[in-house]
């Protein structure tokens, strides 16, 4: 995976998420382009690179979405999205073998899976953190289950949005420098990978 390309796409997705994507907001639910970018990379890239990319993406999201801590200070808590997106990417890595990677619909489905996994982890982490007196949960007095329902809707909207975005990303596949699996050595269980 070519990191300069991946980083440009990630930053563009991050900026769009926090500023522009509100234009697609429906009932308080907004798709997350960062999750689409990570899902796409996790579908195509080497597992190691995909994991680091997911962690970086989650870290940037954590640094973009503050939560108001107890004494009214904005708290940029590093972990909920960082780990959530990481584990979401792990889910994509384990599922990518059963989908057609060059199909935009597959990007949509796996982006939805990643967003749902990340949202589930984010909700669980904040539910755990809300036991701390200085870290109230971002969803206020609502329940964690209700918040997870919102994350489910976000995952669905992200999946829908990921189909056209995935098509664009697939068209730009050559710029990413993903490896292409030509053959597998079944005996040793190792994939022989060469660059496109």
Partner 1 sequence: MRRIPPIVIAVAFVMLLGLVPARWVAPWSSDLSAVVWVPLSPLAHAGTSIRLWLRPGNAASREADASVVEERDRYRGLWHAEQIKVQELEKRLRAYEVAAKTSRGGDAKFAAASVLTRSASGGGFALKLNCGSRQGIAAGDVVLFGGDAIAGRIAPDVGNVTSTVMSVADRASGRVDAYITPAAQEGAKRTEPISVQIVPDGRGQLRADIDLGSAVAAGDMVRVRDPAWPQGAQGMRIGVVREVRRKDAQPLRGEAIIDPVVDGSSVGEVVVRVSNGGTP
Query: Which parts of this chain interact with partner 1 (CB under 8 A)?
Result: 11, 14-16, 18-23, 25, 48, 51-52, 55, 59-60, 63-80, 82-83, 86, 125, 129, 132, 134-136, 138-142
Instruction: Please say which residue, 52 or 178, places its beta carbon nearer to partner 1.
Output: 52
| Shortest distance (Å) from residue 186 CB to partner 1 | 26
CB nearer to partner 1: pick between 7 and 99: 7
The answer to whether the beta carbons of residues 118 and 81 sit under 8 Å apart is yes
Shortest approach of partner 1 to residue 152 CB, angstroms?
Answer: 16
Q: Residue 136 and residue 60: Cα distance in Å, rounded?
A: 21
Residue among 87 and 173 whose Cβ is closer to partner 1: 87
Smallest gap, in angstroms, from Cβ of residue 15 to partner 1? Answer: 5
Cα 171 to Cα 87, 105, 163, 179, distances in angstroms: 27, 14, 12, 16
Q: What is the DSSP code string of 7-53? A: HHHHHHHHHIIIIIGGGG-BTTB---HHHHHHHHHHHHS-HHHHHHH
| CB closer to partner 1, 125 vs 178 | 125
> How far is Cα 25 from Cα 189, in angstroms, rounded to an integer?
45
Could you report how far apart the first and last alpha carbons of the chain are, in Å?
A: 11
Closest CB 161 distance from partner 1, rounded Å: 15
Shortest reach from residue 100's CB to partner 1, in Å: 28
Alpha carbon 59 to chain centroid distance? Answer: 11
Pick between residue 89 and residue 109 the one whose CB is nearest to partner 1: 89
């Amino acid at each position: 995976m070519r990191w300069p390309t991946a980083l440009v796409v990630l930053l563009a997705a991050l900026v769009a998420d926090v500023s522009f994507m509100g234009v697609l907001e429906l009932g308080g639910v907004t798709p997350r382009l960062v999750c689409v970018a990570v899902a796409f990379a996790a579908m195509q890239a080497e597992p190691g690179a995909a994991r680091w990319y997911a962690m970086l993406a989650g870290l940037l999201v954590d640094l973009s979405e503050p939560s108001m801590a107890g004494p009214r200070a904005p708290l940029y808590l590093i972990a909920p999205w960082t780990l959530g997106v990481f584990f979401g990417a792990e889910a994509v890595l384990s599922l990518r073998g059963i989908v057609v990677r060059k199909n935009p619909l597959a990007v949509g489905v796996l982006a939805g899976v990643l967003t749902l996994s990340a949202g589930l982890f984010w909700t669980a982490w904040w539910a755990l953190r809300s036991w701390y007196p200085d870290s109230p949960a971002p969803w206020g007095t609502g329940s964690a289950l209700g918040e997870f329902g919102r994350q489910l809707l976000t995952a669905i909207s992200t999946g829908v949005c990921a189909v056209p975005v995935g098509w664009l990303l697939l068209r730009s596949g050559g710029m990413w420098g993903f490896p292409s699996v030509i053959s597998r050595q079944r005996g040793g269980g190792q994939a022989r990978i060469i660059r496109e």
